[in-house]
Amino acid sequence: AKVYLDNLGNYSVALGKDKAAPIAQEDLAGYLQQVQAADSTMYIALHADEDIAYKEVVNVLSIANENHMKLVIATKK
């Protein structure tokens, strides 16, 4: 699952090559839990804008940790 955080703190999610769709922060954990239930090998690829507040990144890290999900931070060159 891909999780995107833009510079305004907006979240969006996508699976595979699907187009990213907006999601409310409070719905993110439930969404990721559903994806994990369907695919236990799922991991989260976090794409965060460089100007995003660190607390937003920590929120995603916490969801992953609490649910024993693998997480990678996607970076740009």
Let me know the angle formed at the C-alpha of 25 by 3 and 35, rounded to the nearest 5 degrees.
50
pLDDT above 70 coverage of the chain, percent:
99
pLDDT greater at residue 62 or residue 75: 62
- Model confidence pLDDT, tens digit, residues 10-35: 999 999 899 999 999 999 999 999 99
pTM, two decimals, is 0.91
From CA 32, how far away is CA 44, in angstroms rounded? Answer: 8
